[in-house]
């Protein structure tokens, strides 16, 4: 068996790079946004006034992704702010994945601007993995007009860590024998799956580098972080606790999220947004004639702290009401009462087998709901998505189908925009 070789391909400042590439394609004399202090920034009026992506010159001003535009302007008064074009980003993401699939036996899209490529067994075809990674990086720039970092290793974790080393437009390796030199000296907050709150607690416990984390007694981390402590200890030691990229066709998933224009502080309002998200997600599932059996809910609070929870259904479904009821249950189990800034719903473990089976007690009801949902889909397809909606949303300012691209940007097709990493 050949040794596993995994690439992690990560677009450098994706949204800004794609905007720059598009402008230069339209007009070769246009200003390259990557060469000046610039950011892609959301709509401040609708609570999206944050930095979504930044150029390297903007980074020199200590401008960070996710910070308010007001703060970024103070750091760099001449900062060029460009509004996002989500449809453009989806298009460039698809083109990138198509190019990767021309070369990699297996491509697993991780986010809108990232993918894992399982290159195991391709050495005879392409030559040395690092040399071919350099070729692939340059090919992406030549054909698509933007740069990427590529991390090369034997598992997904180390490949992803490697791609986060010095940027832009570089190839890095991080094999197990390189961990002590390349990864262990890094601060704990650079470790995958270590967020701000976890990093803060690790520093309080006296762990400042990934190496200190790797060499500590696992029981200490299990005591303070439960299962999460075991995960980050394994990551610090270079152990990918998930499976290497699957050689089977990757399962598709469906998901949408929405950043809310105000802080939501009550469950009823939050569940209204959940319903609007479930409407969109379930419609996309039915459009593909698919069924899902895993549902998850994610919450981002006003301090940008993330929470999520998921469950597996007894039987696959494509029914909006089942998605919504399950999402509400997960929300109740997850929400810590902190004001909510963003909420999301996703569905996975997809099957396209029409011979699915409902459980004995809900079969008749679910069959009726499935037929009703399908009829509603047809009406919306013919007369527009606003032709029929639930009474809950009538005479309210809230969209009855939300998440992903806004209605103005959807161009008639229910779609999804994954977040830039």
Residues carrying an active site annotation: 114
- Alpha carbon 226 to chain centroid distance? 25
Dig out the tokens for 412 from the structure.
């008639």
- Alpha carbon 231 to chain centroid distance? 20
∠ Cα 323 347 51 (to 5°): 110
CA-to-CA distance for 153 and 143, rounded, in angstroms?
25
**Antiparallel, parallel or unpaired: β 148-153 and 171-173:** parallel
**What number of other Cβ atoms are within 10 A of residue 204's Cβ?**
9
**Residue in this structure with the two tokens 């409902």, named with its chain if needed:** 358
**What number of other Cβ atoms are within 10 A of residue 247's Cβ?**
11
- DSSP reduced 3-state for 364: helix
Give the residue among 349, 344, 324, 320 at the shortest CA–CA distance from 419. Answer: 344
Dig out the tokens for 126 from the structure.
């392409």
- Residue ranges with strand state E in 154-266: 171-173, 254-264
Q: What's the longest Cα–Cα distance across the chain?
A: 66
CA-to-CA distance for 75 and 61, rounded, in angstroms?
6
Give the residue among 271, 280, 248 at the shortest CA–CA distance from 107. Answer: 248
**Residue in this structure with the two tokens 């011979």, named with its chain if needed:** 355
CA-to-CA distance for 301 and 296, rounded, in angstroms?
17
Dig out the tokens for 271 from the structure.
């569940």
CA-to-CA distance for 368 and 371, rounded, in angstroms?
5
């Amino acid at each position: 068996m050949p040794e596993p070789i995994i690439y992690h391909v990560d677009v450098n400042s994706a949204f800004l790079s794609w905007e720059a590439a598009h402008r230069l394609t339209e007009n070769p004399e246009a200003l390259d946004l990557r060469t000046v202090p610039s950011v892609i920034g959301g709509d401040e009026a609708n609570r999206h006034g944050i930095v979504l992506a930044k150029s390297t010159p903007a980074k020199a001003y200590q401008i960070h992704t996710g910070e308010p535009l007001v703060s970024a302007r103070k750091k760099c008064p001449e900062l060029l702010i460009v509004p996002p074009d989500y449809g453009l980003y989806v298009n460039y993401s698809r083109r990138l994945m198509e190019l990767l699939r021309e070369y990699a036996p297996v491509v697993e899209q991780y986010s809108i601007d990232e993918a894992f490529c399982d290159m195991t067994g391709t050495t005879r075809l392409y030559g040395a993995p690092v040399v071919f990674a350099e070729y692939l990086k340059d090919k992406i720039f030549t054909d698509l007009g933007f740069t990427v970092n590529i991390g090369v290793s034997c598992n997904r974790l180390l490949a992803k860590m490697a791609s986060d080393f010095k940027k832009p437009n570089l190839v890095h390796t991080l094999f197990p024998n390189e961990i002590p030199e390349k990864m262990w000296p890094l601060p704990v907050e650079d470790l995958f799956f270590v967020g701000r709150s976890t990093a803060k607690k690790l520093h309080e416990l006296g762990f400042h580098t990934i190496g200190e984390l790797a060499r500590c007694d696992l029981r200490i981390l299990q005591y303070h972080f439960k299962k999460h402590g075991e995960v980050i200890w394994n990551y610090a030691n270079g152990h990918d606790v998930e499976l290497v990229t699957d050689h089977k066709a990757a399962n598709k998933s469906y998901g949408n999220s929405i950043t809310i224009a105000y802080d939501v502080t009550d469950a009823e309002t939050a569940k209204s947004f959940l319903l609007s998200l479930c409407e969109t997600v379930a419609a996309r599932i039915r459009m593909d004639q698919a069924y899902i059996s895993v549902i998850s809910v994610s919450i981002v609070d006003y301090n940008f702290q993330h929470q999520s929870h998921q469950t597996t259904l007894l039987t696959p479904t494509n029914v909006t009401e089942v998605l919504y009821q399950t999402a509400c249950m997960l929300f109740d189990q997850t929400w810590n009462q902190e004001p909510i800034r963003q909420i999301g719903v996703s569905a996975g473990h997809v099957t396209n087998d029409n011979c699915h089976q409902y459980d004995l007690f809900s079969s008749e009801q679910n069959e009726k709901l499935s037929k009703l949902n399908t009829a509603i889909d047809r009406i919306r397809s013919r007369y527009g998505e606003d032709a029929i909606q639930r009474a809950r949303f009538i005479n309210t300012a809230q969209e009855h189908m939300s998440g992903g691209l806004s209605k103005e940007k959807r161009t008639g097709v229910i779609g999804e925009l994954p977040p830039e990493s």
